[in-house]
């Protein structure tokens, strides 16, 4: 009986040791998973803070997230590409579909008025996207862009008018100077 108990106790210790090691491995795995989830939240917040003026759908694979966590140059490069898309999104309207894998970045954008296939593709792409946003204020962005274009046009017209006035004044003073010169030379000749 004692032999059975010793073997039983050894077996019990072996089970506790194995279970303990699995818990340690699970804790390590959870911390890696938690790190990845926290990193994803950080990236999501950064993307969400960008000024999107069009519909946007972004897929990022877990392998890409892991590479971004390990390689800050890759992370900076991918976020830079996303920022570029965000910065021009208000001008074109329409939408943007982006895919980021560990290999890199690919995307497709379309202007407002592009065939409906683009909108259907956007709907399908955004179903399981990491980040997806339908911009309800497209018209506001288009109106803002149109207002800024109109302001530039008014400013250009104002500058053109000022230039024409300056040119007229220069020509007017040049004629006066020629007239004064002609008068002075006629007076000098008569004396």
Q: Measured on CA atoms in the order 8, 9, 11, 15, is the torsion positive or negative?
A: positive
Angle between helices 62-70 and 2-48 (to 10 degrees): 90
Per-residue model confidence as pLDDT tens digits over 160-187:
999 999 999 999 999 999 988 888 887 7
pLDDT of residue 98: 83
Q: What is residue 12's predicted lDDT score, i.e. its pLDDT? A: 44
Query: The tokens of 189 are what?
Result: 């000749």
Give one DSSP letter per residue of 34-94, joined into a string.
HHHHHHHHHHHHHHHTS---SEEEEEE-HHHHHHHHH-HHHHHHHHHHHHHHHHHHHHH-S
CA atoms of 45 and 35, how far apart (whole Å): 15
Q: Are strands 104-110 and 95-101 parallel, antiparallel or unpaired?
A: antiparallel
Nearest alpha carbon to residue 95 among 79, 77, 108: 108
Q: Cα-Cα-Cα-Cα dihedral of 85, 86, 88, 92, to 10°?
A: 90
β-pairing, 131-133 vs 55-60, is: antiparallel
- Indicate the domain borders of the chain: 2-136, 137-191
d(CA 95, CA 103) in angstroms, rounded, equals 23
Q: Please list the ranges in the chain whose pLDDT falls under 50.
A: 1-16
């Amino acid at each position: 009986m004692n032999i059975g108990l010793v073997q039983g106790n050894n077996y019990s210790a072996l089970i506790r040791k194995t279970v303990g090691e699995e818990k340690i491995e699970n804790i390590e795995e959870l911390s890696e998973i938690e790190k990845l989830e926290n990193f994803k939240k950080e990236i999501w917040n950064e993307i969400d803070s960008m000024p999107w003026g069009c519909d946007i759908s972004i897929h990022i694979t877990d392998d890409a997230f892991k590479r971004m966590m390990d390689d800050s140059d890759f992370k900076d490069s991918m976020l830079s590409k996303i920022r570029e898309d965000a910065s021009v999104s208000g001008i074109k309207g329409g939408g943007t579909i982006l895919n980021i894998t560990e290999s890199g970045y690919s995307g497709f954008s379309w202007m407002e008025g592009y065939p409906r296939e683009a909108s259907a593709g956007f709907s399908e792409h955004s179903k399981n996207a990491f980040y997806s946003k339908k911009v309800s204020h497209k018209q506001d962005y288009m109106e803002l862009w149109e207002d800024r274009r109109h302001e530039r046009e008014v400013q250009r017209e104002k500058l053109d008018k000022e230039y024409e006035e300056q040119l007229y004044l220069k020509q007017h003073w040049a004629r006066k100077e020629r007239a004064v010169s002609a008068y002075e030379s006629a007076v000098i000749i008569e004396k």
